[in-house]
Chain A
Amino acid sequence: MGDIRSALAGTAVNAVTEGLSALLDPSIGVCLLVGVLLGTLVGAVPGITAAMAVALAAGFTLTLEPLQGLSVLLSIYVAAQFGDRVPSILINTPGTPASIATTFDGFPMAKQGRAGIALTSSALVSAVGSVVGICILIFAAQPIASIALRFGPAEMFALVVFGMTMMIGVSGGRVVKGLFAGILGLLLGTVGRDPITGDGRFTFGLNELSSGIPFIAAIVGLFGIAEVFNQMISRHPTIVPAPITQLGKWWPNRAERRELVKPALIGSGVGAVVGVVPAAGGDIAGIVSWDQARRASKTPEKFGKGSLEGLAAADTASTATMGGSLTTTLALGVPGDAVMAVMIGSMVIWGLQPGPALFVDSPDLVYSLAAIMLLATFAALALALVRMRGVIKLLDLPQKYLWAVIITFCMVGTYAVQNSAFDVGLMLVFGLLGLALRRNGFPAGPLVLGLILGPLAESNIRRAFLIDGAASIYTSGIAVALLVLSALAVLGPYIRTGLKKGSRRGAGERADA
């Protein structure tokens, strides 16, 4: 037994050594640097997602050696997660869907003149999340992947229900209006072909809507364009708003750094779990983590108004999903997210077959990929911190230029996703919808959450009920656990308030006695 253990340990050491020595080739470093630069750039441009950039780069990398090509693709993937925070914080426009939750507190921080702190903290916690995700890939890939494999319709339905409870959290004290926005999002998620029967619904005869509402057009419109329109419609020609600048203080002090620890831990945990679930990515992880951090915070009332904790939780979680997604991809051969779907295609062309056999046939490759992601994380972090002061100067741009730049970049970026003018028109419609909702007190967060979870919710609820009725849900341990967590998430605040009132009343009665 001891001999077998030492033999296995020896094999693992060999795999690590071989995996790391493969990275000593200087060309890998060049590929990594190119990928980080490209990823940061595309992440910072609203409309261009990491998946799109990786898909474009895949065409150019197929002529390279597998490890070189994977260095470029993985570096783009990692760096895009750093770049996309910048427009979220500075102009309230998510660079990619993974940074939707960054807008909740990042933009309010920028408006308070704390853009520098927001950007720096975001970069630091994003690096922490990425490292945690990579550790999961190295140490827990196979056991976690085996759990993820047990997620059928019933478990996915329970996961979606858990996600829906977040709608209350992201409503910012406007629960009823938040719920309406969430339901509107779920409804917009039904546009297109029915996920089970294929019948067309709410497409109004438009072929462009048959595959559903284009998600990028929706989020760019709801966040970026709606924000510009709102500033525009309430502008005062004689009052020029003071520019937001944060050039003096951009490194968080000790108290602020301490404030980042708890939400970063929550975000790492949430991101790690969400990342390994196929079809759940950084967008969902960010929102779920933001809500969990709010519940755990001593100052939940600050969330959505410029809370450093909220920003840290969202950003840590969305980057922590990367390791989980790669884990699912490599261990199961099931793409963890859209980027991994593209990566699988490239890997197959290079003759690498992701799946359980990969860990047996070429374990060194797994360690090489983990090391590439780690190096890309540090390179992206360095780049993010170096260009920080320059980025903040964007805020110095006079409003007359800023509005024009945001509108034009959003339009061209949205067009670039599918080369579709229809998407641009739809983005503007969502911009006006976002403006109307905002002016009437309806938060956009739950709507986006509904849009993300809608198709998942409907298809899994219906499949679960069609397979075995309600029994398919209450006979699954994972599903029951998730539903209990959902109930606690909704009822928890009320129970806590009731307990507090009870203890206060008891103390008052004791004092009277």
Chain B
Amino acid sequence: MTTQDIGVSTDDLPANAQPSGRRPNSRVYEVGIGLAVVLLGAAVYVMTNRIDVAREGQSFGPRWWPTALAVSMVVIGMILIVQAVISRIVSDEPPITKSGTFALAATLALIAVYGIAWQYFDFRVVTVVLLAGLTAISGGRGIKALAVFPVITTVILWAIFGLLLQVPL
């Protein structure tokens, strides 16, 4: 669980204190989240009105349901803003680290390259490279991590999907 709707009274907390294992989020940040929800709802509302329909003026037509959802989103966004102002939202997610951000960015870049390479090269070859790359990003070093593990995993993948399930990889 990440956050709770149940606000923690600031009176109950000494200065700089935090609920056990949780970090209070800044009010500005939480208001920003609420604002983002309102803007998303508004954007959906605009996009809904641009849906091309074959027959205009139908009751309960294709625009009706998404419009109702967009309005609900705006209302919920406003409630989130109010909630952010009057109560204190806490989070128990571990903080983001610099090395973690780099690892995630590198992983996404590697997956993108893999997706392109898969169109041109054999699945088995590019998958071995992908697995070696992902292991290296996660801190794997040496022959076992960068060669043996990727080859064995690729063979298992190929056996399950390519041979057993006949998926055209």
Q: Does A383 touch B at the CB level, under 8 Å?
A: no
Give the residue of A176, A199, A229, A462 whose beta carbon is less than 8 angstroms from that of B80. Answer: A176
- Secondary structure call for the A interface: helix
User: Hey, which bits of chain A sit against chain B, CB under 8 A?
Assistant: 41-42, 45, 48, 53, 56, 172-177, 179-180, 183-184, 186-187, 190, 194, 196-202, 229-230, 232-237, 304-305, 399-401, 403-405, 407-409, 411-413, 415-416, 419, 421, 424-425, 428, 438-441, 443, 458, 461-462, 465-466
| B63-93 near A? 1/0 per residue, CB < 8 Å | 0111001101100110110010000010101
B61 touches A235 (CB 8 A): no
On chain A, the residues within 8 Å of B134 by CB distance are: 403-404, 407-408
Q: Does B166 touch A at the CB level, under 8 Å?
A: yes
B103 touches A235 (CB 8 A): yes
Give the residue of B58, B100, B167 whose beta carbon is less than 8 angstroms from that of A235. Answer: B100
User: Hey, which bits of chain B sit against chain A, CB under 8 A?
Assistant: 1-6, 33, 37, 44, 47, 51-55, 58-62, 64-66, 69-70, 72-73, 76-77, 79-80, 83, 89, 91, 93-97, 99-101, 103-104, 107-108, 111, 115, 118-119, 127, 130-131, 134-135, 138-140, 145, 149-150, 153, 157, 160-161, 164-169
Question: Please, how many angstroms separate the alpha-carbon atoms of A176 and B77 in the complex?
Answer: 9
Would you give the shortest CB distance from B63 to chain A, in whole angstroms? Answer: 8
B135 touches A400 (CB 8 A): yes
Chosen A-B contacts, 10 in total, with CB atoms closer than 8 Å, are A45-B160, A176-B76, A187-B70, A196-B62, A197-B54, A197-B55, A232-B103, A233-B96, A234-B93, A235-B99
* Known contacts A187-B70, A428-B108; 5 further A-B pairs (Cβ under 8 A): A183-B73, A202-B66, A233-B104, A237-B139, A407-B111
Question: Please, how many angstroms separate the alpha-carbon atoms of A232 and B99 in the complex?
Answer: 9
B52 touches A404 (CB 8 A): no
Give the residue of B80, B131, B139 whose beta carbon is less than 8 angstroms from that of A180. Answer: B80
B5 touches A197 (CB 8 A): no
B167 touches A416 (CB 8 A): yes
A424 touches B115 (CB 8 A): yes
Would you give the shortest CB distance from B22 to chain A, in whole angstroms? Answer: 11
A412 touches B169 (CB 8 A): yes
B111 touches A187 (CB 8 A): no
Can you name the residue of chain B whose Cβ is closest to the Cβ of A440? Answer: B33
A419 touches B2 (CB 8 A): no
Known A-B contacts A176-B80, A197-B55, A234-B100; A461 and B65 likewise in contact (beta carbons under 8 Å)? yes
B93 touches A232 (CB 8 A): no
B5 touches A176 (CB 8 A): yes
B4 touches A416 (CB 8 A): no
Known A-B contacts A173-B6, A400-B135; A232 and B104 likewise in contact (beta carbons under 8 Å)? yes
Question: Please, how many angstroms separate the alpha-carbon atoms of A440 and B47 in the complex?
Answer: 25
On chain A, the residues within 8 Å of B131 by CB distance are: 404, 408
On chain A, the residues within 8 Å of B127 by CB distance are: 408, 412
A186 touches B161 (CB 8 A): no
Question: Please, how many angstroms separate the alpha-carbon atoms of A413 and B119 in the complex?
Answer: 17
A234 touches B83 (CB 8 A): no
A439 touches B93 (CB 8 A): yes
Would you give the shortest CB distance from B151 to chain A, in whole angstroms? Answer: 13
Known A-B contacts A187-B66, A199-B52, A401-B140; A233 and B100 likewise in contact (beta carbons under 8 Å)? yes
On chain B, the residues within 8 Å of A461 by CB distance are: 60, 65
Question: Please, how many angstroms separate the alpha-carbon atoms of A416 and B47 in the complex?
Answer: 33
Closest 7 CB pairs of A and B: A441-B3, A400-B138, A404-B134, A234-B94, A194-B62, A400-B140, A233-B100
Give the residue of B1, B157, B168 whose beta carbon is less than 8 angstroms from that of A419. Answer: B168
Would you give the shortest CB distance from B80 to chain A, in whole angstroms? Answer: 6
Can you name the residue of chain A whose Cβ is closest to the Cβ of B153? Answer: A405
A415 touches B167 (CB 8 A): yes
A411 touches B69 (CB 8 A): no
Give the residue of B60, B64, B165 whose beta carbon is less than 8 angstroms from that of A48. Answer: B165
Question: Please, how many angstroms separate the alpha-carbon atoms of A423 and B39 in the complex?
Answer: 28
B111 touches A462 (CB 8 A): no
On chain B, the residues within 8 Å of A56 by CB distance are: 165-166
Would you give the shortest CB distance from A226 to chain B, in whole angstroms? Answer: 11
Can you name the residue of chain B whose Cβ is closest to the Cβ of A172? Answer: B1
On chain B, the residues within 8 Å of A404 by CB distance are: 131, 134-135, 138, 140, 149-150, 153
Give the residue of A199, A412, A466 whose beta carbon is less than 8 angstroms from that of B53. Answer: A199
Would you give the shortest CB distance from B119 to chain A, in whole angstroms? Answer: 8
On chain A, the residues within 8 Å of B1 by CB distance are: 172-174, 304-305
Question: Please, how many angstroms separate the alpha-carbon atoms of A184 and B111 in the complex?
Answer: 27
Would you give the shortest CB distance from A160 to chain B, in whole angstroms? Answer: 12
A229 touches B33 (CB 8 A): no
B115 touches A425 (CB 8 A): yes
Can you name the residue of chain B whose Cβ is closest to the Cβ of A401? Answer: B149
Give the residue of B37, B96, B138 whose beta carbon is less than 8 angstroms from that of A399. Answer: B138
A400 touches B139 (CB 8 A): yes
A465 touches B60 (CB 8 A): yes
Give the residue of B2, B44, B55, B107 whose beta carbon is less than 8 angstroms from that of A441. Answer: B2
Would you give the shortest CB distance from A103 to chain B, in whole angstroms? Answer: 14
Give the residue of B6, B93, B111, B115 whose beta carbon is less than 8 angstroms from that of A230. Answer: B93
B54 touches A177 (CB 8 A): no
Can you name the residue of chain B whose Cβ is closest to the Cβ of A56? Answer: B165
B51 touches A201 (CB 8 A): yes
B165 touches A416 (CB 8 A): yes
On chain B, the residues within 8 Å of A424 by CB distance are: 115
